[in-house]
Amino acid sequence: MIALDFDGVIANYGDHVSHTCYNVDLLSLLPGQQPVAICSNQGGMVFSRHNPERYPSPLRVAQRLLGGCNFLRRYGYPVQTLYISAFHPKAADADIQAVAAHLRDLVSVIAPVWRVYTTERARKPHPLMLRAAGATVYYGDSPEDAQAAQAAGIPFVAVPRFI
């Protein structure tokens, strides 16, 4: 199963709170059309209540994920699995649990198989999400993505960050 990071790979990384666009250049890096998984850290949403200009809310994250899944499906890459880490090392556990619960309510209709994690061991660069997705290759744009792939024992494809 091909696994993809989200921000900076499928959707824009910069200005992601107010504007979303999708990375058509990613399509030329992918092999033939097939189901894919998304494995993404979204821990910043825990800070959205206090800093909404910088961090997306759970609703905004879900909107972006839905748009990204629709984009991929339109080009022959239906998202079978959606794994999101809501954990952030600088956030209080109660706040992480609250945004994760909100996101869970929203993503349950986006992909057939999904999970929103709340623990550090699920946040990249740990390999838990990639292993849970059965990933055989991981496309990402950051050093932590490369580290997660290495920890999972799978190849990593570096995607130029889509801003």
Question: Would you list the DSSP string of 105-131?
Answer: HHHTTT-SEEEEE-SGGGSTTSSHHHH
Sheet containing strand 113-117, edge to edge, reads 113-117, 79-85, 36-41, 2-4, 137-140, 156-158
Cα 74 from Cα 1, distance rounded (Å): 18
DSSP string computed for 67-91: HHHHHHHHTT--EEEEEEE---TTS
136: pLDDT strictly greater than 90: yes
pLDDT at residue number 40: 98
15: pLDDT strictly greater than 90: no
Mean pLDDT of the chain: 96
pLDDT at residue number 18: 87
Residue in this structure with the two tokens 């792939």, named with its chain if needed: 149
For 3, residues 6+ apart whose C-beta sits below 8 A from its C-beta are: 36, 37, 38, 39, 129, 130, 133, 135, 137, 138, 139
For 129, residues 6+ apart whose C-beta sits below 8 A from its C-beta are: 3, 39, 83, 85, 117, 122, 148
Tokens of 72: 């991929």
pLDDT in tens, 47-67: 999 999 899 999 999 999 999
For 94, residues 6+ apart whose C-beta sits below 8 A from its C-beta are: none
DSSP letter at 37? E
17: pLDDT strictly greater than 90: no
